[in-house]
């Protein structure tokens, strides 16, 4: 008990100082990833304008939505005039991974007030989540975790917004025949490759891609949706059979 | 040439922006707001884990394999060649930046010189 006393006796500012340090630490540890996120934001900005979205719409989308892969996925559907339910459903499927993230994050953020959790939830992205979970694996129960994540996420949001704005304004003065929107496909591909590391992920991607190609000419771009659904089904089957085999082996 | 079927109206674009934003908000806030009260069935959780791979593949694979609405599985399909090389770069370096730089460089080189 007596060993607790010196800590309690520290001045009240210590909490704030610790929070600031965790915040800075988060922002600092984001920096190695900043180039990648910057490139991704730039590409999303360029792709939005070059595929034919009006400037105001590209700006609004970039600033409000704040979810790059959902933006890139919804973009061709919006341009093609697909119905709202299809645009929204497609974005939802791309964003389903955030449910996993938020389930993975909640335990270490449970102690925070609801307002702070909403802020963190709004700001969080793929890269901050990955860095955060990596760090928490080595330091579970760290009291500065919320501020650390805020630092990571704020740095991520800043880099993302600045780079996508640069992309949007640069794209409107770049010629359309350079095929710059292909950079959007490459960025999606860069996210796809690591998602295929597991066997169910790879099976799902192969089936999803094949069905999407077969359904390319379908009305309302429903081939994309059919591909997603078939892929998720395939991933589930492979996952179940792997689980069954593992259960049989033990 | 006719413009694409839709040529979306201002209202349609705003509706789409709001719809896409809502999907991002609902998914990101889900468990952070619900907290311990909600539980994800393990089977559902494992399926959700593979959703991004499926969604991203359904979007990008037709982009790479098709040209002008037809399957184009040959060396003249610059997107396919550049995409395959970019995927190899991603596997080797795990860097989004290098993947885009190499893919875009190769795509532009093929487009200009072939």
Is A186 found in the same domain as A70?
yes
What confidence category does residue A59 fall into, taking pLDDT thresholds of 50, 70 and 90?
Answer: very high
Report B:75-94 residues touching A (Cβ under 8 A).
79, 82-83, 86-87, 90-91, 94
Is A86 found in the same domain as A203?
no
Per mean pLDDT, which range of A45-49, A127-131, B39-43, B76-80 is the poorest?
B39-43
Q: Is the CB of residue A102 less than 8 Å from the CB of residue B31?
A: yes
pLDDT (mean) for A70-78: 87
Residue B4: per-residue pLDDT: 46
Residue A179: per-residue pLDDT: 78
Residue A160: per-residue pLDDT: 93
Instruction: Specify if A4 maps to a domain.
Output: no
The answer to whether B3 contacts chain A (CB < 8 Å) is no
Instruction: Specify if A161 maps to a domain.
Output: yes
Is A180 found in the same domain as A200?
no
Instruction: Specify if A3 maps to a domain.
Output: no
Contact between A201 and B50 using a beta-carbon 8 Å cutoff: yes
Tell me the C-alpha to C-alpha distance, in Å, between residue A215 and each of A91, A138, A227, B27: 19, 45, 8, 28
Residue A13: per-residue pLDDT: 58
Is A104 found in the same domain as A201?
no
Residue B5: per-residue pLDDT: 47
Contact between A96 and B12 using a beta-carbon 8 Å cutoff: no
Is A209 found in the same domain as A147?
no
The answer to whether A43 contacts chain B (CB < 8 Å) is yes
Q: Is the CB of residue A93 less than 8 Å from the CB of residue A114?
A: no
Instruction: Specify if A2 maps to a domain.
Output: no
Cα–Cα distance, A156 to B24 (Å, whole number): 16
Residue A2: per-residue pLDDT: 42
The answer to whether B44 contacts chain A (CB < 8 Å) is no
Would you say the C-alpha torsion A101, A104, A110, A111 has a positive or negative sign? negative
Indicate the residue among A190, A205, A227 that finishes a domain.
Answer: A190
Instruction: Specify if A230 maps to a domain.
Output: yes
Report A:54-93 residues touching B (Cβ under 8 A).
54, 57, 60-61, 64-67, 69-74, 77-82, 84, 87-88, 90-93
Is A82 found in the same domain as A143?
yes
Q: Given a cut of 80, is residue A184 above it in pLDDT?
A: no
Indicate the residue among A158, A190, A222 that finishes a domain.
Answer: A190
Which residues constitute the domain of residue A211? Answer: 196-250
Residue B17: per-residue pLDDT: 95
CB-based burial, B71-92: b 16+ in 10 Å, e otherwise: ebeeeebbbbbbbebbbebbee
Instruction: Specify if A97 maps to a domain.
Output: yes
Q: Given a cut of 70, is residue B88 above it in pLDDT?
A: yes
The closest CB to that of B27, out of A65, A90, A99, belongs to A99
Residue A250: per-residue pLDDT: 64
Residue B3: per-residue pLDDT: 40
Indicate the residue among A147, A169, A190 that finishes a domain.
Answer: A190
Contact between A94 and B56 using a beta-carbon 8 Å cutoff: yes
Q: Given a cut of 50, is residue A6 above it in pLDDT?
A: no
Indicate the average pLDDT of chain B.
86
Residue at token pair 């953020």: A109
Contact between B36 and A110 using a beta-carbon 8 Å cutoff: yes
Which ipTM did the prediction report? 0.82
Is A80 found in the same domain as A142?
yes
Please write the tens of the pLDDT for every residue from B37-69: 777 787 777 777 788 788 889 988 998 999 888
Is A202 found in the same domain as A184?
no
Indicate the average pLDDT of chain A.
85
pLDDT (mean) for A25-35: 85
Residue A212: per-residue pLDDT: 94
Residue A9: per-residue pLDDT: 46
Residue B6: per-residue pLDDT: 56
Residue B18: per-residue pLDDT: 95
What burial class does residue A24 get, using C-beta atoms within 10 Å of its C-beta: 0-12 exposed, 13-18 middle, 19+ buried? middle
Percent of all residues in chain A with a pLDDT value above 70, rounded to a whole number: 94
Instruction: Specify if A163 maps to a domain.
Output: yes
Is A65 found in the same domain as A98?
yes
Query: Cβ atoms within 10 A of the Cβ of B19, count?
Result: 21
Is A244 found in the same domain as A173?
no
> C-alpha A178: how far from its chain's center?
28
pLDDT (mean) for A186-198: 86
A14 compared with B33, residue with greater pLDDT: B33
CA dihedral A161, A83, A73, A127 (to 10 degrees): 50
Q: Is the CB of residue A68 less than 8 Å from the CB of residue A41?
A: yes
Tell me the C-alpha to C-alpha distance, in Å, between residue B72 and each of A213, A222, A224, B76, B77: 11, 21, 18, 8, 6
Q: Given a cut of 60, is residue A3 above it in pLDDT?
A: no
Q: Given a cut of 80, is residue A83 above it in pLDDT?
A: yes
Is A22 found in the same domain as A138?
yes
- The total number of structural domains that make up chain A: 2
H or E element in which residue B55 lies: helix B42-65
Is A172 found in the same domain as A51?
yes
Contact between B20 and A61 using a beta-carbon 8 Å cutoff: yes
Residue A220: per-residue pLDDT: 66
């Amino acid at each position: 008990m007596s060993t607790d006393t010196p800590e309690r006796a520290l001045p009240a500012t210590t909490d704030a100082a610790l929070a600031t340090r965790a915040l800075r630490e988060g922002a600092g540890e984001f920096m190695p990833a900043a180039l990648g996120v910057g490139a991704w934001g730039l590409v999303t900005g360029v792709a939005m304008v070059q595929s034919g979205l009006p400037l105001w719409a590209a700006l609004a989308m970039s600033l409000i939505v704040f979810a790059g892969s959902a933006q890139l996925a919804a973009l061709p559907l919006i341009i093609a005039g697909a119905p709202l339910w299809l645009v929204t459903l497609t974005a939802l499927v791309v964003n389903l991974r955030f449910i996993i993230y938020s389930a993975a994050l909640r335990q270490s953020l449970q102690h925070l007030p609801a307002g702070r959790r909403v802020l963190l939830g709004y700001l969080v992205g793929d890269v901050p989540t990955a860095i955060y979970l990596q760090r928490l694996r080595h330091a579970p129960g760290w009291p500065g975790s919320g501020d650390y994540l805020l630092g990571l996420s704020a740095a991520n949001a800043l880099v993302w917004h600045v780079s996508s704005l640069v992309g949007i304004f640069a794209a409107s003065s770049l010629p359309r025949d350079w095929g710059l929107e292909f950079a959007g496909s490459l960025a999606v591909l860069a996210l796809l490759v690591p998602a295929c590391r597991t066997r169910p992920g790879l099976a799902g991607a192969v089936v999803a891609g094949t069905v999407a190609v077969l359904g390319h000419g379908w009305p309302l771009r429903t081939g994309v949706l059919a591909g997603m659904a078939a892929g998720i089904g395939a991933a589930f089957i492979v996952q179940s059979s792997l689980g069954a085999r593992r259960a049989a082996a033990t | 040439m006719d413009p694409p079927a839709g040529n979306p109206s201002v209202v349609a674009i705003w509706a789409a922006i709001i719809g896409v934003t809502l999907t991002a908000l609902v998914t990101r806030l889900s468990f952070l707001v619900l907290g311990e009260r909600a539980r994800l069935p393990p089977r559902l959780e494992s399926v959700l884990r593979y959703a991004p791979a499926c969604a991203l593949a359904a979007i990008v694979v037709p982009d790479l394999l098709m040209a002008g609405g037809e399957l184009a599985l040959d060396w003249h399909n610059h997107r396919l060649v550049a995409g395959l090389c970019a995927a190899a770069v991603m596997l080797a370096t795990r860097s989004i930046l290098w993947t885009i730089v190499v893919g875009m460089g190769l795509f532009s080189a093929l487009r200009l010189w072939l």
